[in-house]
């Protein structure tokens, strides 16, 4: 299959190590941050391109109650549990199975998460399918089943830069997010268990905004967890648009998930060297993590992220690229 989009993925952590997009002038650009050697992914890094689970985001207090039992978790982002724990899905080896058709190339990754892994109950069988097609769409489908009730909310933690990884910051790029509410947090990013409206001058992206102007107004210059506007649960809807006016490259995100966590890569400080041999400075990439709201494990009003025996977890996220 020939198309203007290609990617590299490793079965360690399900990591997306490259996404190459063809621009209007027929040049290609790699739009995700990462490394060119596996050994760098084995060292500490901010989850560049990894699969995240069992629960993406922060579980407040690093514990949850389910069906009359309390489950303590690692407080790896004290006082909270973050991204499935220090040995979550991003640290596991997945079983790969590549395939292709005339119109699509696919990589199926499977993993059995055993009962008790990182403190979570139940044996959970997970399948994640990455695919690219001739419409310049990069698709991720997440499927899972369990033998015990367990929280489950999966995402991918790719850091995008439409100007190209190693090109500097994303501050000259423009973001639009189709949402009216976020999950409230305190200064430590602990979820407070309720929704609040976006504020016109702060975290409202219902109109396209230049990230250089928007990031200083975000809490901790970080980003929030947005509840996606939709007419019915589970439909694949347009979620966000990230664009790079200088090159004309645009990435439109669609998802069946309930929320999207935006993150401005505020943790980067120039100490990590990327694929092109250039330091990744603060705001060198931007994450659009489509997921369920992790606060739902404590507060059902924020959604439902409990998977039970007999149910099938099935969600899709699409990153569609276009160039003008």
Take residue 72 and report the two structure tokens written for it.
């303590």
Give the chain as a 3 state SS string.
Answer: CCCCEEEEEECECCEEEEEEEECCCCCEEECECCCCCHHHHHCCCCCCCCEECCECCEEHHHEEEECCEEEECCCCECCEEECCCCCCHHHCECEEEEEECCCEEEEEEEEEECCCHHHCCCCEEEEEEEEEECCCEEEEEEEEEECCCEECECEECCCECCCCCCCCCCCCCEEEECEEEEEEECCCCCEEEEEEECCCCCCCCCCCEEHHHHHHHCHHHCCCEEEECCCCCCCCEEEEEEEECCCCEEEEEEECCCEEEEECCCCCCCCCECCCCCECCCCCCEEEEEECCHHHHCCHHHCCCEECCCCCEEEEEEEEEEEC
Assess whether 157 carries a catalytic annotation.
Answer: yes
Q: Which of 45, 83, 157, 244 is catalytic?
A: 157
Q: Are 291 and 255 in contact (CB under 8 A)?
A: no
Take residue 35 and report the two structure tokens written for it.
């490394």
Assess whether 104 carries a catalytic annotation.
Answer: no
Q: Which residues are catalytic?
A: 157, 289
């Amino acid at each position: 299959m020939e198309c203007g989009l290609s990617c590299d993925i490793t079965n360690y952590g399900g990591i997306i190590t490259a996404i190459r997009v063809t621009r209007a002038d027929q040049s290609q650009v790699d739009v995700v941050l990462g490394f060119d050697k596996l050994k760098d992914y084995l060292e500490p890094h901010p989850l560049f391109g990894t699969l995240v689970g069992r629960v993406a985001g922060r579980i407040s207090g690093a514990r949850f109650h389910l069906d009359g039992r309390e489950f303590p978790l690692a407080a790896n982002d004290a006082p909270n549990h973050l991204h499935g724990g220090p040995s979550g899905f991003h640290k596991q080896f997945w079983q790969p199975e590549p395939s292709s058709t005339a119109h699509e190339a696919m990589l199926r990754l499977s993993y059995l998460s055993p009962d008790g892994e990182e403190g979570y109950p139940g044996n959970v069988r997970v399948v994640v399918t990455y695919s690219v097609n001739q419409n310049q769409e990069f698709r991720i489908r997440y499927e899972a089943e369990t033998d015990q009730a367990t929280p489950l909310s999966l995402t991918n933690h790719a850091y995008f830069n439409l100007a190209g990884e190693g090109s500097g910051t994303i501050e000259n790029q423009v973001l639009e997010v189709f949402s009216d509410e976020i999950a409230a947090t305190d200064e430590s990013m602990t979820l407070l268990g309720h929704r609040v409206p976006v504020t016109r001058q702060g975290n409202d992206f219902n109109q396209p905004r230049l990230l250089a102007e928007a990031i200083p107004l975000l809490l901790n210059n970080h980003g929030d967890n947005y509840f996606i506007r939709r007419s019915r649960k589970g439909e694949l809807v347009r979620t966000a648009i990230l664009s790079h006016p200088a090159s004309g490259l645009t990435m439109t995100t669609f998802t069946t998930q309930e929320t999207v966590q935006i993150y401005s890569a505020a943790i980067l400080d120039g100490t990590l060297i990327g694929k092109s041999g250039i330091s990744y400075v603060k705001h060198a990439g931007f994450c659009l993590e489509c997921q369920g709201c992790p606060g739902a494990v404590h507060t059902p009003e924020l959604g439902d992220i409990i998977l039970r025996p007999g149910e099938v977890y099935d969600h899709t996220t699409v990153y569609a690229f276009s160039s003008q």
